[in-house]
Amino acid sequence: MAKRRSRKTKRASKREEDTVFGRVERIADRGDWALDFYHHLLMVSPWTLFLILVATYIGFNLLFGALYVLQPGGIANAAPGSFPDAFFFSVQTMATIGYGDMHPATLYTNLLVTAEVLLGMTGLALATGLVFARFSRPTARVMFSRVAVVTLHDGVPTLMFRAANQRGNQILNAEVSVSLARQMTSQEGIVMRRFQELKLVRSRSPLFALSWTVMHPIDELSPLYGATPDSLYEDQAEIIVLLSGRDDTLSDIIYARHSYMPDEILWNRRFVDVLEETPSGRRLLNLRCFHETEPLRD
């Protein structure tokens, strides 16, 4: 999981985060986070979202419970000045449970009940929509190999990495694109981060169900031609992978992404075979050795 660290200043906030594109420092206006609050809620982990909803729910009832206590006798059958009674009356009001033991007895309390029911119904609708959008969003369980390798294939140095569908279904019309991102200096001496597409031996698969070895031949036309581990470090290079396809169960387009830094690219090694055959003649995908490599054989 990405590690994030933030530091607020008077007019701006500076955030440093680990992304699939490497370590990025971003300086943004303070209002950007608030304007995109809904997007942040969709991106947090399920447990974080659950804790946010619980904290909001409890805080909402604590606020209205304190408002109810301001007028003694405003809640019938409640102990005078009892905050627990006011809090649980707020819970019953917001949920429209209506047990009947406690009910509003004054105009002030009735106005508070009206406001709480309105805000409670609005908050419930927003929370329901947020949870539905969060958990109904199609996701891809595509596993990429932890490392990429540069090995010989048909006598040509080739960049390879593997992808596997961890679900038991199929991804239809799968398509993968690979790009090289690195620092380059223009003729004017301006340093820019450039993206160059890496052409693949096969960039599309009509049916992605098991394992897929993605290959890019490093020939004279390749941006990686003549590259070495040291040059990739110096250029702050990064191999960026984007994979998409249609999930045949959900009939929705799913996306997966990954990246490889220079220290995750192994030279003169090959991947261990993961496809085996059972005694009954069926193919078996052994994901236990999915990330393993071995030296090239002479």
Q: What is the pLDDT of residue 34?
A: 55
Pairing between β-strand 211-217 and β-strand 293-295 as defined by DSSP bridges = unpaired
Domains present along the chain, CATH in parentheses: 36-136 (1.10.287.70), 142-295 (2.60.40.1400)
Q: What is the pLDDT of residue 248?
A: 82
Q: How far apart are CA 13 and CA 15, in angstroms?
A: 6
Q: What is the pLDDT of residue 111?
A: 93
Q: How far apart are CA 158 and CA 203, in angstroms?
A: 15
Q: What is the pLDDT of residue 81?
A: 85
Distance of CA 287 to the CA centre of its chain: 23
Q: What is the pLDDT of residue 31?
A: 54
Residue with tokens 């309105």, as numbered in its chain: 118
Q: How far apart are CA 89 and CA 62, in angstroms?
A: 11
Task: Give the residues across from 242 on adjacent strands.
Answer: 177, 257
Give the three-state DSSP class for 185. Answer: strand
What number of other Cβ atoms are within 10 A of residue 118's Cβ? 10
Q: How far apart are CA 9 and CA 281, in angstroms?
A: 64
Which phi and psi (to 5°) does residue 110 adopt?
-65, -40
Q: What is the full per-residue pLDDT of the chain (298 aa) written as tens digits?
A: 333 333 333 333 333 334 445 555 665 555 555 557 777 888 888 888 899 999 999 999 999 999 999 988 888 888 888 999 999 999 988 888 877 788 888 899 999 999 999 998 998 898 888 888 887 777 778 899 999 999 999 889 999 999 988 887 888 999 999 999 998 887 888 888 899 999 999 999 888 888 889 999 999 999 999 999 999 999 999 999 999 999 888 788 889 999 999 999 999 999 988 877 778 777 777 778 889 998 887 6
